[in-house]
Amino acid sequence: MLPRDGGTPHHHVFRDLPYLLRPGDLLVVNRSQVFPARLLGRRATGGRAEVLLISREGSDLWDALVQPGRRLRSGDVVRVDDGLEVDIASEARPPEGRRRVRLRAADGNVDAALGRAGHVPLPPYIRRPDRPEDRERYQTIFARESGSIAAPTAGLHFSPDLLAALGARGIRRADVVLHVGPGTFKPVTVDDVRRHTVEAEPFVVPPETAEAVARTRAQGGRVVAVGTTTVRTLETVARENGTVEAREGRTDLVIVPGHRFRAVDALVTNFHLPRSSLLLLVAAFAGRERVLAAYEEAIRAGYRFYSYGDAMLVE
């Protein structure tokens, strides 16, 4: 646990969370669900091809990244299996050589074919093929709405028993949706971090969540965001008084040191990659030097980093 006020950091196990938070706090989570977005197939020549679906643009039309990008042209077909083919419907375009593709299912049911043939898009630093159990393991307990190509990983630490303990402690829960796309993992390459940009991602803040935040503020409780995706969502719709607006849209908000946090009082987050917008956000929340010192301490203590790693409470 890392105090934002300059206090001494403390080591805990995650099941201590109900006792680190306060009765009356509001835990806000991201209920986005990872879908089997990675399709592996063959081109007409027999060569291997990969299609990573990013966002749905119609019943069978998607934005996607494809490999090999130079050899797949508009009009080409990638055969995934007997029940699913992918038509390349456009040439490469920004960002990152994005393509428009059309999925064609032999039985007409694209969603079912995608569920059968798709692979879990594990992070590239997990150097193994996905396994059947990843469909459950790379998914938070809160996942409800399909649309992410990566899990909001701070939520992976929660279990039904822990949620019950949080509820018994008087800690309420609300949710938002932010579908994670590849922009979240775009490395920071500019010298001035204020110039770093990410691709806009769809989000939803339900009315009941906005009401829960307003009620928590009125009663003197804190808003505790689970994960950087939740922070970005809440800060996108934050009002000056710390309440939030219920709405949906797309956000390209990049939070860097100097950001004035209005909606979020505490943060549960994993340990992130260097030169990432995720680490920038945590540094903005707790202070660059304190976060770097906490990361050094985590390394000394043998903590695990990244998606399946350990977590930190910043308050």
Establish if 261 belongs to a structural domain.
Answer: yes
Query: Is 94 in the same domain as 156?
Result: no
- How many angstroms separate the CA atoms of 131 and 128, rounded? 9
Residue 184 has pLDDT above 90, yes or no: no
- pLDDT tens for 147-169 read 999 999 999 999 999 999 999 99
Query: Is 275 in the same domain as 234?
Result: yes
* Residues whose CB falls within 8 Å of the CB of residue 68, separated by 6 or more in sequence, listed in order: 47, 49
Parent domain of 247: 14-34+135-314
- pLDDT tens for 14-60 read 999 999 999 999 999 999 999 999 999 999 999 999 999 999 998 89
Query: Is 81 in the same domain as 187?
Result: no
Q: Judge whether 32 and 15 are in contact, CB under 8 Å.
A: no
Query: Is 146 in the same domain as 216?
Result: yes
Query: Is 81 in the same domain as 206?
Result: no
Establish if 5 belongs to a structural domain.
Answer: no
Q: What is the pTM of this model?
A: 0.94
What are the Cα distances from residue 50, in Å, to 75, 281, 288? 16, 32, 38
- pLDDT tens for 112-148 read 999 999 999 998 788 888 999 999 999 999 999 999 9
Instruction: Give the strand order in the sheet containing 266-270.
Output: 247-251, 201-205, 172-178, 26-30, 223-226, 266-270, 311-314
Query: Is 162 in the same domain as 227?
Result: yes
Domain count, the chain: 2
**How do beta strands 84-88 and 99-105 pair?**
antiparallel
Average pLDDT over residues 221-244: 98
